[in-house]
Structure 1
Amino acid sequence: MNLQKAGNMSTIGFIGLGTMGRPMAANLVKAGHEVRGFDVTAQARDAAAADGVQVVTSAVEAAIGADTLITMLPKGDHVRSVLLADDGPLSALPAGAVVIDSSSIDVPTSLDVHAAGEKLGLEVLDAPVSGGLAGAVNGTLTFMIGGNETTIDKARSLFEIMGARIVVCGGAGAGQVAKACNQMVFGSALVATAEAFVIAENLGLSAQKLFDVLSTSSGDSWALHNFCPAPGLVDGSAADNDYAPKFAAALLAKDLGLAATAAESAGVELVVGAGARTKLDELSADNGHLDASAVITTVKVQS
């Protein structure tokens, strides 16, 4: 993890100090930046304060005088209520400040944030991430960025603190498009992997033998190695910890919903992606707090 920033240290406002936002903000603090953070929950605020974040009392206060404002919020509705509010944090930023929205949200909301920021003389980037909690903690996230390349270069040193890979996807909203597509592929692979383990179990093939084949053959995937739904196969897997969340099912279900919306706007009929969304929605209805790999339990119920 790169904890060195070229040039002067900056003042950063950070809104959303939850599972992902807190370690991202903490890494910026470790790099020597002044980070003023806000979250609506007291627990998140207290945890961030323990990491050295200067916790403030409102989103607007986090933005006052900041060179950069970063948001990491759960849904597009939250982004709208914060960033598009009258007299909200965007209006508190100085002209020329950079706004980085790392929330995973719908493209129309992202475009509205870009437009609102531009009217105020701000430079806006949509920069959703991949890599999960481990990536946020270790500073190894992948950022998928949409926006002006000059602005991306301006903020590059911050991205390098929080992540290991920066993918410039295109203009405004392109980062959100990339994230939606990535999550659809991940979710589909995860559900297919869960189905494969249930098929193997029901037909007498051990999970270990199937893993040995999948992990060395054409069925291999990132989902298999990082979110293996069967226990006892991958060190540190959620499956070995009663599916305590590394990436909650409700969050993946949300992402697959965003992918479905993107597909509809693009005129693409989803078949595999739609099926994966259905299974994650089933899991989330009752157990959205569990890890997404717990989708194997919904497959077993119907087998």
Structure 2
Amino acid sequence: MSRAVAFLGLGHMGAPMAANLVTAGHRVRGYDLVPTLLDGAARTGVEPAPSAPDAVADADVVVTMLPASRHVLDLYDAVLPAARPGTLFVDCSTIDVADARTAHQRADAAGMRALDAPVSGGVVGAEAGTLTFMSGGGEAEFAEARPLLEAMGNKAVHCGGPGAGQAAKICNNMILGISMIAVSEAFVLGESLGLSHQALYDVASTASGQCWALSVNCPVPGPVPDSPANRDYRPGFAASLMAKDLGLAAAAARAGAVHTELGLRAAELYAAYAEHAGAAEDFSGIVRTIRDRSGEPA
């Protein structure tokens, strides 16, 4: 069934997601603060709106894809009064679990319904329509949003109540960040022992070391032709975003007094990497930092 969708946030992730909704037959009105992004989305069939409140005025569903918690909460304050009662708000941003719950509360207080539905899959997944959505909220809201999520991805999971999608996202990305560091350290160690990248890949990819960070986003050029390592680490999933997600996981671990030694250390390493060498690189480029630091006292 075709829906009227407002899509707010048309950056690297939002633009292809909105385009996939258009391809699936939905009417999409979009808005972004950056005029060039709005123009680019218009070329894919997204109808440009003059403002965010205007975009949501006649929408059945409002999808947001924004950088951080404050952007989501500020936008909700601006657009909730403009939406029709009962409109479903689906936030695909990655934000703090507590802030996601606040967004649910604000939507509910305004007479709306809400779902937090962050994604995994990066820009490549957004463009290909192969994202995974992790959703938190009511079962009825998830059921309503599911056809839209599946138009933008190939898997949508209902993880629980408000904030559960964000919880799943930061836990998943803590696994990913730690595993990328582990894979990178293994390749650098292999280099020091005279082992070729291909030989280590051929063993680990079919043995107990096999993981997504190795087999899909391999941090060294050669073994996986489509990995960012073969494009001078041009981002598929930017190091700055990994640093953000690990920071959210670290904050949640500290708040809950959960012992996540590797998660906290990964957050520190990615924060430093994203602030300096990795500012414009894929998160797999951390292998170069590990290589550069090798030879220093352990």
TM-score by length of 1: 0.94
Counterpart-to-counterpart distance in 1, 2:189 and 2:272? 19
2:172 aligned residue: 182
Counterpart-to-counterpart distance in 2, 1:214 and 1:278? 26
2:135 aligned residue: 145
Counterpart-to-counterpart distance in 2, 1:44 and 1:199? 43
Counterpart-to-counterpart distance in 1, 2:282 and 2:5? 31
1:294 aligned residue: 285
**Equivalent residue for 1:209, pick from 190, 199, 205:** 199
Q: How does 1:1-303 map to 2 (within 5 A)?
A: 7=1, 9-83=2-76, 85=77, 88-286=78-276, 287-303=278-294
TM-superposed deviation, 1:265: 2.3
TM-superposed deviation, 1:295: 0.4
Asked if 2 retains the 8 angstrom alpha-carbon contact of 1:194 and 1:296, the reply is: yes
TM-superposed deviation, 1:289: 1.4
Partner amino acid, structure 1, of 2:113: E
* Aligned pairs, number: 293
Counterpart-to-counterpart distance in 1, 2:267 and 2:194? 28
TM-superposed deviation, 1:63: 0.9
User: Which consecutive unaligned segments of at least 5 residues does structure 1 have?
Assistant: 1-6
TM-superposed deviation, 1:61: 1.4
Asked if 2 retains the 8 angstrom alpha-carbon contact of 1:147 and 1:172, the reply is: yes
Asked if 2 retains the 8 angstrom alpha-carbon contact of 1:97 and 1:122, the reply is: yes
Counterpart-to-counterpart distance in 2, 1:43 and 1:299? 37
Counterpart-to-counterpart distance in 2, 1:129 and 1:11? 21
TM-superposed deviation, 1:133: 1.5
Partner amino acid, structure 2, of 1:144: M
| Larger RCO of the pair (alpha carbons < 8 Å, separation 6+) | 1
Q: Deviations over 1:143-178 (max 9, x none)?
A: 100000011111221111111111110000000000
Q: Deviations over 1:191-243 (max 9, x none)?
A: 11111111111121111111111101111101112211111110111111111
Partner amino acid, structure 1, of 2:92: S
Partner amino acid, structure 2, of 1:112: T
Asked if 2 retains the 8 angstrom alpha-carbon contact of 1:282 and 1:298, the reply is: no
TM-superposed deviation, 1:36: 0.7
Greater than 4 Å deviation, 4+ residue runs: none
Counterpart-to-counterpart distance in 2, 1:283 and 1:297? 10
Q: Residue 65 of structure 1 aligns to a residue in which SS?
A: coil
TM-superposed deviation, 1:279: 1.8
TM-superposed deviation, 1:11: 1.0
Q: Deviations over 1:54-109 (max 9, x none)?
A: 111221111111110000001112112211x3xx1111111111000000000111
User: Which consecutive unaligned segments of at least 5 residues does structure 2 have?
Assistant: none
